[in-house]
A and B are shown apart, each in its own frame.
Chain A
Amino acid sequence: MSGMEGVDPVTLLPELVLALAAVGALLLGSWTPRRRQGRVRLCVVAALLVALAAAVAAAATGTGAASGGHTVDTITHAVRVVVLAGVLATVLLAADAFADHPRESEFHVLLLLAALGTMVLAGASDLLVLAVAYLLASIPLYALVGFAKDGTGTEAALKFYLLGALSGILLLTGTTLLLGAGGTTGYEGLAAALPGAPRALVAAGVIAVLAGLLFKAGGVPVHFWVPDVAEGAPAPVAAFVTTVPKIGALAALYRLGDQVLAGAALDWVLLAALLSAASMTLGNLGALLQTDARRLLGYSTVSQVGYLLMAVAAAGGQSAQPGLLFYLGAYLAANLGAFAVVCALRTRTLEDHAGLFRDRPWLALSLVVCLLGLVGTPPTAVFVGKLALFTAALDAGLGWLMVLAAVNTVASLFYYLRWILPLFRAPGEPPEAGDRPGAPDRWSTGVAVTAAAASLGLGIAAGPVLDLL
């Protein structure tokens, strides 16, 4: 392992800004009266904008670096921008739910640290850095999920924590095994050493590492926490936890598959394809009959991970990497948009949304765009992402996976439509129309409309964006 001495701090500017902002927010929050913690939020938003600017600037100048087990390349650039946009949206969503909350600054600190972990996860090119990033991206989230200190939140946090701790140990075990097999934890060294290493050892190590990353991504078979967290955590936290960390995890999985395991004596393509097939199918089956909107979204994210894993299975193909990165951005917009509507209305069940189109046409239209976006209806962004990944799968000789993904897409339409249909129901039909809360939350509404617009805009302007990737 090379040391950190040679690292140019400028290449890590977005990460540094986030780390400083987290510390700063903690200090500022400690010296701010509990009723005036709104100023912490302002500082956090400012820091996020600075980090976003730094990330965009780094991506635009094409700065690249690889040292100390951390690589800055197109994947890192794209993940940085997407994650920062996601955190910004979460902070705005939380501006409604947690305004004047006595622990508001703690919320922001934990959020920033988890985002930092996610970004490092995507850039890690050394298994030890990967493990550190995993812990950094996980531990703050355990606390966030139980943030409301209520029954469902505590239950979700406990499940999340137990499964997370187990996966973390597996990840570290896998790192140890691969160190034993390859004599190093750096990706470059492993890629050279693994093809000659004992097959069983490599397989066990890879599967253990996979377990950790799949937990972060929320993919089968370590997906059990996803629906519980989506349902039990406070709404903005649920939006964040089911959306943002998997961006880093999937980027890490792709990097691992592309840079380390492509040549290893292990049928990586088949393994990833099977995991992908299982995720998309089981996620869809779980979502099919849900009546709770957030639980439905939770299961739907499991199936989305399945589609995204197609890129991991087809790693190295011409359209796999741009497709993955584009899909991640598109998925972020669509999923956060749908969660933002739930945040804005503070609704629970699908039936709670009845007649929404009459009362809040813009919010209803945003929800329709986001949900159809998750299906992959053109011209939303996910369609372009799906198209690229389908192509990548066919290129990699995984025609069966492509067909399965198409069938799953049709199945997913069923439950998204179960949510869309009540929106347009004629007023007066639903019995519980009376107890809908009055005005929707302002910031969340803004986030929902912006996310829907971004989903459409990204789809129509897909050409230039894909070229960047």
Chain B
Amino acid sequence: MLSVVVFLPLSAGLVLLALPRPRDATAAWTWVAVAALDLVLVLGLWAYYPSVSGPGPGGFAYEERVLWIPSVGASYHVGVDGFSLPLAAMTAVLFLACAVHSLRRPRRVRAHAVLFLFLQTVSLGLFSALDLLLFFVFFDLSIVGMYFVIAGWGHGRPARSALQFFLYTFLGSLALLLGFIGLYVASDPRTFDMVELAGQTPLEGRGLVGGLVLLAIGVGLAVKTPTVPFHTWLPPAHTDAPAVGSAILAGVLLKMGTYGFVRIAMPILPGAWSAHAMVLVVVGVVSVLYGALVALAQTDFKRMVAYTSVNHMGYIILGLGAAGLATGTQSDAASLAITGGVTQMVSHGLLTGALFLLAGVLHDRAGTYDMGSYGGLAARAPRFAALAAVAFFGSLGLPGLSGFIAEFQIFAGSLGPVPVPTALALLGILVTAALFLRALQRLFLGGPGPCTDRVGDLSAREGAAIAPLLALSVLIGLTPRFLLDRVEPAARALAALVAG
């Protein structure tokens, strides 16, 4: 069943590719239909999800395992737990939103749709992979797919940005591969299986080797996340990517980095994680502050949102690092921080996806992201202004929206183990609030700018793509239980591994 969910988009894409010259409308609507069907299937998985505990053996639901390369102990092994299911659901929602948003017919509709269907399979596959090699395959393919999205449908200097994106993140992925090979060589019997490796924890008690492997894996994931100092590929990639590409890049692909930490680095290298958690905490806090301050200085709307992603990902790294530093008696705090981190991944996916789609709306109408060119949009485009305001407030962590739930849990969980860094990171919230309010002011209030009269209000299609994302964020903000019930058991099990 899980494999069907994962490979449905790709097979639909192949069918689309095989059709002799389908009409553009056929391709666009097929994409919407497939994305919707896949979302329904994921919701089915959610509804019938049995209570499992992860990350050890038997901790996963809907497990499937087929030997792939037995001689190196690699298998096609998939399954979901409380970490991956919410991310898979968020992925399905975001891809549906992008499909709806793309009904306006971009250039080369069919290739566009096929590429995104491919990316959806890759993303869902990554979030359900339970084998390091399978994880790596999807990790690398996501880079290839996004490269073509930016190079083929971007604007500005897409070729250059796409190349930079590919080279930079590919370097990260190879660091990741080296780490995986290190784990493989250390394991006995040798295997790439995450569940078995989490049971073996092969590098426990081997300080230097464990640290080096964690370094390789950590760098690989940190490039993808991205954290300071590996974030420099992100702003140009976002600036030149098409709106839907940015939404997927920020909403889904960045999560692959942070998800890798909770899925691979923490359960398989718990000792090394605890030993080096302080590095993670510092990287997290620096990302929070640096991302927020640089975002504050931006005049380009899309670059600003891109830098707030660095800030938001920083909170997750802070929470995960703090969980590693929690002592045995603080296991509850660690669990809280991890739950907050996973909630932040979902929340950031929804909110940033909406923000990038809104940025695309602006660019479609006036051809620029420069905030100084706009002003007084609230009067001209009230629906656009209303949705943007919700997304802004959600991103700055206003209570009642998903961002608050996530960040509150991260701070509450981290304060015990690492009080000073957490207090510093709180300043990040302040800066983010300032920058979003300032952006709100520049775009929507005041006198009209030179491009204001070119901006009409949201069409029904754009509304239908963006509004559900924000509605979900509000839903999580008001009644988070349905999400937390899934995340918490897995977070408790992981906290028990790394804390103390």
Contacts and interface: CB of A to CB of B under 8 A. Distances in A.
Interface of A: 319, 322, 372, 377-379, 383-384, 387-388, 390-391, 394-395, 402-403, 406-407, 409-410, 413-414, 417, 421, 424, 426, 462-463, 466-467
Interface in B125-178: 133, 136-137, 140-141, 144, 147-148, 151-152, 159, 162-163, 166-167, 170-171, 174-175, 177-178
A421 B152 CA distance: 9
Nearest to A358: B108
Interface stretch (B180-188, B241-249, B266-274, B432-440): B180-188
Contact of B178 (A390, A417, A424, A467): A390
Nearest to A463: B69
Interface string B234-277: 00000000000000000000000000000000000000000000
B70 A463 contact: yes
Given A387-B72, A463-B68, A372 B144 contact: yes
Contacts of A402: 178, 181
A123 B466 CA distance: 65
Interface in B50-86: 67-72, 74
Nearest to B178: A406
Given A377-B144, A390-B177, A424 B70 contact: no
Given A391-B181, A394-B181, A421-B159, A413 B72 contact: no
Contact of A378 (B71, B136, B152): B136
A438 to B, nearest CB: 21
Label chain B's interface by main secondary structure: helix
Nearest 3 CB-CB pairs, A to B?
A378-B137, A463-B69, A406-B174
A466 B170 CA distance: 26
Given A387-B72, A466-B71, 13 more contacts: A379-B141, A383-B137, A387-B181, A390-B177, A390-B178, A390-B181, A406-B177, A413-B166, A413-B170, A421-B163, A424-B151, A463-B67, A463-B71
A50 to B, nearest CB: 31
A333 B236 CA distance: 36
A462 B71 CA distance: 9
Given A322-B71, A387-B133, A462-B69, A377 B181 contact: no
B159 A406 contact: no
A391 B136 contact: no
A467 B151 CA distance: 39
Contacts of A319: 71-72
A391 B163 contact: no
B182 A394 contact: yes
A414 B137 CA distance: 20
B151 A421 contact: yes
Interface in B189-238: none
Contacts of B71: 319, 322, 463, 466-467
Interface residues on B, range: 20 to 34
Contacts of B152: 424
Interface in B294-320: none
Contact of B166 (A388, A394, A417): A417
Contacts of B151: 421, 424
Max chain A Cβ within 10 angstroms of own Cβ: one of B71, B72, B167 = B71
A394 B185 contact: yes
Contacts of B70: 463, 467
26 contacts: A372-B144, A377-B140, A378-B137, A378-B140, A378-B141, A379-B137, A379-B141, A383-B137, A387-B133, A387-B181, A390-B177, A390-B181, A394-B182, A403-B178, A407-B174, A410-B170, A413-B167, A414-B163, A414-B167, A424-B151, A424-B152, A462-B68, A462-B69, A463-B67, A463-B69, A463-B71
B221 to A, nearest CB: 16
B192 to A, nearest CB: 9
Interface of B: 67-72, 74, 107, 133, 136-137, 140-141, 144, 147-148, 151-152, 159, 162-163, 166-167, 170-171, 174-175, 177-178, 181-182, 184-185
A383 B140 CA distance: 11
Max chain A Cβ within 10 angstroms of own Cβ: one of B144, B159, B163, B181 = B181
A424 B149 CA distance: 11
A413 B144 CA distance: 11
Contacts of A407: 171, 174
Contact of B175 (A322, A406, A417, A424): A406
B163 to A, nearest CB: 6
Contacts of B147: 417
A282 B159 CA distance: 26
Contacts of B72: 319, 387-388, 391, 466
B48 to A, nearest CB: 30
Nearest to A421: B159
Nearest to B111: A357
Nearest to B74: A463
Contacts of A384: 69
Contacts of A413: 166-167, 170
B166 A395 contact: no
Contacts of A387: 72, 133, 177, 181
Given A406-B177, A421-B151, A466 B69 contact: yes
B495 to A, nearest CB: 32
Contacts of B137: 378-379, 383
Contact of B163 (A377, A395, A417, A462): A417
Contacts of A377: 140-141, 144
A415 to B, nearest CB: 11
Nearest to A323: B72
B121 to A, nearest CB: 12
A379 B135 CA distance: 11
B141 to A, nearest CB: 7
Contacts of B69: 384, 462-463, 466
B199 to A, nearest CB: 21
A402 B159 CA distance: 30
Contacts of A322: 71
Contacts of B133: 378, 387
Contacts of B68: 462-463
Max chain B Cβ within 10 angstroms of own Cβ: one of A395, A406, A414, A466 = A406
Contact of A391 (B162, B166, B184): B184
A229 to B, nearest CB: 30
A367 to B, nearest CB: 14
Contacts of B163: 414, 417, 421
A426 B159 CA distance: 12
B180 to A, nearest CB: 9
A467 B166 CA distance: 33
A406 B151 CA distance: 25
Nearest to B137: A378
Nearest to B163: A417
